[in-house]
Amino acid sequence: MAQERVAYVNGKIVPESQAVVSIRDRGFLQGDAVFDTTRTFGHRIFRLDEHLDRFFLSLKYMRIDPGLSKQEFARLTMEVLEANLPLINDDDDYWVSQRVSRGVMVDGEYKPTVVIECAPLPFDVRAKYYRDGLPVVVPSVRRTPPEAQSPRAKVHNYVNLVQAELEAKAHNPDAWPILLDTNGNLAEGPGSNIFVVRNGELLTPKEQYVLSGISRRVTIEIAQELGIAVHEADIDLYDAYTADEAFVTSTSFCICPVSSVNGSDIGDGSVPGPVTERLTKAYSGMVGIDVEAQYLARLER
């Protein structure tokens, strides 16, 4: 067990090899589940309370009672994290996730499945994006519209985003998909939000059409502290192609520069741009880790 990560599953902390979910579980059968994910910086968890607040809003949207309070989730999350931290190096960090499905039918009622787990952040795989920038591809697949299913709830049903990623990577294996909404405006990518920079100001899609990422919120807070104007707006492909800069925010990336959209260079094609770099340095200062250097160090090994 000392060499294997552990996870919390329905009342017990067990080795991951024993962390099992029933084949009758609604989360497995229908994607009927909710999750949220934060990360550590230097092994310290980031804004857990905010992530759990969003987690419980998603549970309410899906009408799932997890059977545990927010405080209990926080305590169990820290127990799982602390048990797993000895298994990674000092320069590594974790994704930390809470997951609840509607569960399995027992005596005519569903008994929720509760999971809390950690996974190492993919620094090696994603390091090149900080050197070269993200080549964004906009697939033909549109983001599920709010009148069908609210993108503001973080649910397990990711088929829409999976199809978009498969299409984008068929064009370019390194591509990062950013979907359009049904109105033809930029929406979001898998676990990620998009920003474009024009005339020193930030534009980002309206919250109604995207999941409001915690990293998105943090970036907006930092921009406001730095005196950089931020506008939630309808952003189409013209806006993307003619932007001075663009970047993606996510739990793992924090802020990662975009080098191109559908093969069209952003600005002069160099990354990061001055506004993106300024925001990234401020983000790093806030979390106490140089997030760009943490990725780039993997390219030097």
**Residue ranges in the chain whose pLDDT is less than 70:** 1-2
- 129 and 266 belong to one structural domain: yes
Q: Which two tokens stand for residue 200?
A: 């020193």
Q: Are residues 75 and 224 in the same domain?
A: no
Residue-wise pLDDT tens digits, 73-106 = 999 999 999 999 999 999 999 999 999 999 999 9
Judged by DSSP in three states, 89 sits in coil
Which pLDDT score, from 0 to 100, does residue 2 have?
Answer: 57
What is the CATH number for 72? 3.30.470.10
Q: What is the reported pLDDT for 275?
A: 98
Q: Which amino acid is at 220?
A: I
Residues facing residue 15 across a β-bridge: 6
Question: Is there a single domain that holds both residue 55 and residue 173?
Answer: no
pLDDT at 3: 86
| Predicted TM-score (pTM) of this structure | 0.95
134 and 86 together in one domain: no
Distance CA 92, CA 96 (A): 13
- Same domain? For 82 and 149 the reply is no
Range of the domain at 99: 6-121
Contact 112, 65 (CB under 8 A): yes
Q: Are residues 144 and 85 in the same domain?
A: no
Whether residue 1 is contained in a domain is answered as no
How far, in Å, CA of 14 to CA of 84, rounded? 11
pLDDT at position 300? 80
